Amino acid sequence: MTAMSLKDEFRKLIIKLSSKFEFPPISNIFFPPFYKGGQTKDAQFMAICLQGGAAGISFILLPDEKREQYNTLRSSDFIGKDPRELALEFGDEDLVKEMVSLAAINAICQHVMRQTRFKAESAVDSLGLLSISKEDRIGMVGLFSGLVKTIRNVGAELVVIEKNEQLIKKYPNRPITLDATKLR
C-alpha cells in the first residue's frame, strides 16, 4: 500500500461514487447533547439521514475544548444539503467537521449499498474479512475486548482510544489511551 492516508482514501471513494451515483439530500441530522468529560452511553453518536432512508453515524470523540463549536451545530443548517459536500470536508483537521463528514460518508455508502442491493459478506470471524497483517497499525475507537487478542495474535500494532479512564487502570497491559491524536 502506498503512503496515501485514510483521509485521501475516503475522499477518493466519495469522488468515485459521485461519478456513478446520485445522492439524495440530507433529510435529518441528529446531534445529542455534548457532555463535558465525555459522552454518556446514550449520547455517543450523531447521525445523518438522507431522503430515502440511508443513514450514517459518527462517534462523538471530541475534547471538551470543542464543546462551544459543537453546540453551534443546528440541524436546520444541514437539512436539504448535498451529503457529498460534507463528506469531501473529511481531512479538514477540524475535529467537529470530521465527525460530521464521517457520518456523511457512512450515509453515502449505505445509500450506494441500497441502490446496488449489495449483500454484505458474513463470516464467523468478522476480522477474517479484513486481512490484517503484522505490518498493520489498527486504531480502535472504544475497547472491544474480544478483538484485542485476535489483533495481537497477528502481531499488528493496536491503538485503543477510550474515554473511560477506568479501563486504562483495569487493563494496564493493553494499548489504551485517552489521546485521540495517537491514531495518527
Please check whether residue 129 is in contact with residue 123, taking contact to mean a CB–CB distance below 8 angstroms.
yes
Residue 120 lies in a domain: no
Q: What is the mean pLDDT of residues 79-102?
A: 93
**Range from 33-37, 49-53, 109-113, 175-179 carrying the lowest mean pLDDT:** 175-179
CATH of the domain at 164: 3.40.50.720
pLDDT of residue 142: 83
34 and 84 together in one domain: yes
pLDDT score of 108: 97
Long-range contacts formed by 31-39: CB under 8 A, 24+ apart: 31/70, 31/73, 31/75, 32/60, 34/60, 34/62, 34/67, 34/70, 34/71, 36/64, 36/67, 37/64, 38/163, 38/164, 39/163
- Distance of alpha carbon 135 from its chain centroid, rounded? 22
The count of structural domains within the chain is 2
38 and 12: one domain? yes
What is the rounded average pLDDT for all residues in the chain? 88
Q: Are residues 98 and 135 in the same domain?
A: no
Same domain, 81 and 108: yes
- State the pLDDT at residue 15: 94
Containing structural domain, residue 156: 126-183
CATH code, domain with 103: 3.30.390.100
Which of 115, 138, 161 is the C-terminal boundary of a domain? 115
Q: What is the pLDDT of residues 136-160, one digit of tens each?
A: 888 888 888 777 887 888 888 888 8
- Of 67, 88, 115, the residue at which a domain comes to its end is 115
How high is the pLDDT of residue 163?
79
Determine the average pLDDT of the residues in 88-93: 86
Q: Are residues 146 and 82 in the same domain?
A: no
pLDDT at 31 over 80: yes
CB 177 within 8 A of CB 168: yes
pLDDT band for 107, please (50, 70, 90 cuts): very high
At 4 the pLDDT is: 59
Which of 63, 82, 115 is the endpoint of a domain?
A: 115
Average pLDDT over residues 56-68: 93
Q: Is the pTM of this model over 0.75?
A: no
- Residue 121 domain flag: no
Q: Say what the pLDDT of residue 114 is.
A: 93
Q: What is the mean predicted confidence (pLDDT) over 108-130?
A: 78
The answer to whether residue 106 sits within a structural domain is yes
